[in-house]
Amino acid sequence: MEMKSTKEGDVLIFEPEGRIDGTNARDVETAFLDKVRGGELVILVDFSEVDFISSAGLRVLLMVAKEVKARSGRIELCSMRDYLKEVFEVSGFNAIFQIHEARSDGLESLS
């Protein structure tokens, strides 16, 4: 999968595309952790181009969140389709991640 990232001020915006599931979880995790270990500790994940996430994808986000938190960083999410938001809600991940409606809300929260 494509894993674009851009920097806006101190915030690193991740823009995964397509699916985050068992077929690519390891690649996505590596992409995230490389950035975190490289010192990017304020992260917004923009879900506007993501159309599928499974428990393997949630697991990656949880591991990244643990790593970010261990370094006193922040990670928040934005622009998620309703049916994906439901996955976060039933998994209790909405208590772990702030999920913003729009990218601008996420940037405001993290800046």
Partner 1 sequence: MGQALKLDIPVQISALSDVTTRIEEFCDAADIPMASAFKVNLVIQELVTNSVNHGDFGGREPEISLSINCDGRQVEMLFEDNAAPFDPFTETPALDLGSNVSERPIGGLGIHLIRSFSDQSSHEHVGGKNRIRLVSPVE
- 87, 99, 107, 110: which one contacts partner 1 (CB under 8 A)? 87
Per-residue tokens: 72 = 């006193």
Beta carbons of 54 and 31 less than 8 angstroms apart: no
Judged by CB under 8 A, the stretch of 1-9, 36-44, 86-94, 101-109 that binds partner 1 is 86-94
Beta strands 11-16 and 3-8, pairing class? antiparallel
> Which residues are CB-neighbours of 46 under 8 A, at least 6 positions away?
13, 14, 15, 77, 78, 79, 103, 106
**Does 23 contact partner 1 by CB under 8 A?**
yes
Residue number with CB closer to partner 1 (13 or 50):
50
Residue 37 C-beta: closest distance to partner 1, Å: 18
Q: Are 61 and 33 in contact (CB under 8 A)?
A: no
By CB under 8 A, tell whether 92 contacts partner 1: yes
109 binds partner 1 (CB under 8 A): no
44 binds partner 1 (CB under 8 A): no
Q: Is 63 in the site for partner 1 (CB under 8 A)?
A: yes
